Structure 1
Amino acid sequence: MAGVHLTLTDDRAVEIDALAELLGGRVGLAGVLDRLDRRAQPSRLGRLAGRLVDEAYAWERQDARDRRWWPQGVSSSADADPSERVLGRRLVLVSWYAHPVGGASHGVRLTVLDLDSLGYRHVLLVVPRIDDEGRATTEPLTVHAGGIVWLGGAVHVAATARGLLTCHLDDVMVAGPGVESHGHDLVLPVRSAWRAGAERGHERLRYSFVSLDRTDPGGAPVLVAGEYGRRRGATTRLARFGVGAASSLLATDDDGRARPTSVEDGARARMQGAACVGGTWHATVSMGPWVPGGLAHGRPGALRLRPLALPMGPEDLTWWPSSGRFWSVSEHPGRRWVFSWPGPAAPRRTRDG
């Protein structure tokens, strides 16, 4: 629909296997959870929190004030599995992208946060390669990572004009010789990409942020993607993609392309994240680094804005069904939190659902 699509690229299994051999194998998500080396703290935001937020956690001081790494995307174990737990834990996953400092970017990283212990750990994303001499090596991943969806064992990362990138958490490895990890002890290679495309006469979708809708009437999860637009005339489309049966990948047509089941335009400028719950859209809206963010809800073209609802610089958005709560992150140094607020109750399923 709407002339846009995503095309899955070749799997980098050979490169990832070579990297695993070089680094002594994979440790996976379990290895990350065994190595939680930092601790978040409950935070009372006061006036900084906006009008809705009633639960927030602060990063350690170094991460809270770092001017290289900026939080962007958020997903959780409630997206990953209908039980809302992975390896028995309630987890939040956050993506960060690196501002170039001294002319160099360190790429993208993911942070795994355990909501019960508040321990967390950073994992650097890398692009696996095999050089001209047949040796495994890596390159930094340089995308904005404005949103993520954790579904099954896969993490889909928003890559703006490029589409989506996919990693598998089973592929986490301990960094070692031959891998530039920029101070990170754990690395996660990108396995595949969903390349953004469009039919002639149509504009490619910008994959600025993503989320998961588990309330679709059909009963299957739906991946939601949306566009950040700031300039006048920029599109602010919201698209919905089906997920393959018994798969953590997008559903594809006979030609191997994933096409949205719907695309709606006319949302809001400055959207940073969006989630759809029971047919109603909810979107975080940034008002700059010094003004609390807004929360919009309703239908595309008629989203009603609630100003001063969220902390400054709200980013991606995810919904936790059993608690009926939204989760987001804020990006600006000194004003960075993982935070939550009450949302809609889980929609009731029909007898068929």
Structure 2
Amino acid sequence: MEQYVEGVHLHRTGENRAEIDALAALVGGRVGLGGVLADLDRRGHRVWTRPLWPPGRAVHRAFTWDREDRRTTRWWPQGITTSADASAGEDVAGRRIFAVSWYAKDLGEGGQGSRITFVDRESRRYRHVLLVVPRFARDGSLQVLPLRVHAGGVVWCGDHLHVAATARGFMTFRLDDLMRVPDPGPGDPQRLGVDGDRVSAYGYRYVLPVRFAYQSFAEEGHERLRYSFLSLDRSVSPPHLVAGEYTSAEQGSRRLAHYPLDPDSLLLQTGEDGISRPLRLEPKGVAHTQGVVVVEGEYYLSVSRGSTVCGSVYVGRPGAFRRFLMATPMGPEDLSWWPSTDELWSVTEHPGRRWVFSMRRSWFDR
């Protein structure tokens, strides 16, 4: 029988089923992922040579966003996951896909929150989708709010997408809930909400509502885990969701947690008390870590040192990592493993220096 770690845990909230159904009724129903993939409106650019080729000694291949998304200072890329996480066959609806999370720098009142970008790996065409929170007001009317989380990590597993929410835990979405917003009118790019039978979404064509949350808790005498980044370990059965903490100081908490998934639902395993507890909790992570993947017991950590210095990758086991300097471009974020090609994929965040790039795992065997 598996022994779970005490001290920190996650509690799954109820589903926003009624609120999501009400929103779907207003916009004409759900379209699911297929509807978004059939309507990709932007195209990324393959990079071959300098000056567009990203720096970083381990970079194997890369592409970048269109001009607007490369330069925007409002939206910052953070998390990455792929159809290879979602499915053992590594494609969804016959396509190989990246999903990248972004957060709006103006996270406070008036900020646009977070979004997910779905990218067709072959064509590099993509579409941004706004993440929203539907809820009923006291008078019974439907409200639609932005999801204001840092979105530092994202995991696509089966029909669900999990987005990191730091001290709050993480938010879970069902991709079948993707909805198309009717044609926006004048002024709609400036607002999000419901006005009668009309929905505005800051001008976004598609929205994805939160289905439920995994809320972070800690027992007395323990510090609550911060869910700064997420990944999926498919080299174990059933897969594990791996989460970690970012810290800018060496003395700060930098734990790495493994949560086993239920083999049928591919959601977190829960005990009879409805609580999800980690199977392992490693205390010896690395400061400034932005992402982690675990492959056959080996850890790979992306570590950023700002907008002007190339990032590092730490490889090994907690407490015994090897550091590979200048391995990534500046500002590396979350990590995701593509099993069939044995590549680690990541995304960088800084305006004018934004790439989606891969590294061969074998490069770190030297």
- Same fold per superposition (TM over 0.5): yes
1:236-285 residue CA offsets vs partner (Å, 9 max, x unmatched): 11010000121131000110010000000111100000000010000000
How many Å apart are 1:141 and its aligned residue?
0.5
> Do residues 124 (structure 1) and 130 (structure 2) align?
yes
- Pick from 188, 191, 199 the counterpart of residue 219 of structure 2: 199
Displacement, 1:152?
0.4
Q: Is the 8 A contact 2:107 2:149 kept in 1?
A: no
**Following superposition of structure 1 onto structure 2, how do residues 108-257 of structure 1 map, counting pairs within 5 Å?**
108-176=114-182, 178=194, 179-216=199-236, 219-257=237-275
Task: Please list, as runs of the form range in 1=range in 2, the aligned pairs for 1:1-353 lying within 5 A after superposition.
Answer: 1-44=5-48, 46=50, 48-100=54-106, 104-176=110-182, 178=194, 179-216=199-236, 219-344=237-362
Letter of the aligned partner of 1:188 in structure 2?
Answer: L
Mapped contact 2:96–2:120 kept (Cα < 8 A) = yes
Q: Normalising to structure 1: TM-score of the pair? A: 0.94
* SS of residue matched to 2:340: coil
Gaps of 5+ in 1: 346-353
What is the identity, as a one-letter code, of the residue corresponding to 1:185?
A: R
Q: Give the superposed CA RMSD.
A: 1.5
Task: State the shift of 1:102 in Å.
Answer: 9.8
- Amino acid in structure 2 at the alignment position of 1:214: R
Write the distance in 1 (CA, Å) between the matches of 2:108 and 2:136.
Answer: 28
**Would the aligned equivalents of 1:292 and 1:308 in 2 still touch at CA under 8 Å?**
yes
Q: Secondary structure at the match of 2:217?
A: strand
**Is the CA contact (8 Å cut-off) linking 2:107 and 2:113 kept in structure 1?**
no
Residue aligned with 1:305, SS: strand
CA-CA distance at 1:220 after TM superposition: 1.1
Identity rate, percent = 51
Which letter does structure 1 place at the counterpart of 2:11?
A: T
CA distance in 1, matches of 2:353, 2:251: 31
Superposed CA offset, 1:46-66 (max 9, x none): 474200102111100000000
Look up the SS of the partner of 2:110 in the other structure: coil
Shift, 1:2, TM fit: 4.1
- Paired AA for residue 6 in structure 1: L
Residue 88 to residue 336, structure 1, CA distance change in 2 (3 Å): same
TM-score normalized by the length of structure 2: 0.91
C-alpha separation between the residues in 2 aligned to 1:64 and 1:45? 17
Give me the whole-angstrom Cα distance separating, in 1, the residues matched to 2:248 and 2:33: 37
Q: How many residues align?
A: 343
Q: How far is 1:134 from its partner?
A: 2.4
Q: Is the 2:54–2:355 Cα contact (8 Å) retained in structure 1?
A: no
Q: 1:35-81 deviations in whole A, cap 9, x for unaligned?
A: 10000111136474200102111100000000000000000000000
- Stretches of structure 2 lacking an aligned partner (at least 5 in a row): 183-192
Contact 2:75 2:103 in 1 (8 A): yes
Output the CA distance in 2 between the equivalents of 1:165 and 1:119.
26
CA–CA distance in 1 between the matches of 2:145 and 2:18?
Answer: 16
Shift of 1:341: 1.3
Contact 1:213/1:221 (8 A) holds in 2: yes
Residue 349 of structure 1 corresponds to which residue in structure 2? none
- One-letter amino acid matched to 2:165: A
Once the two structures are overlaid, the 10-residue window that deviates more, 252-261 or 172-181, is 172-181
Q: Deviations over 1:99-147 (max 9, x none)?
A: 1189631000000000011110000000011223323220011110000
Letter in 1 for 2:244: G
Provide the C-alpha distance between the structure 2 equivalents of 1:114 and 1:199, rounded to a whole number of angstroms.
43
Aligned counterparts of 1:168 and 1:344: Cα–Cα separation in 2: 34
Contact 2:107 2:148 in 1 (8 A): no
Amino acid paired to 1:311: P
Is the 1:298–1:304 contact (alpha carbons within 8 Å) kept by the matching residues of 2? yes
Letter matched to residue 44 of structure 1: W
Contact 1:237 1:264 in 2 (8 A): yes
For residues 3 and 337 of structure 1, do their structure 2 counterparts lie closer, same or farther at Cα, with a shift above 3 Å needed?
Answer: same
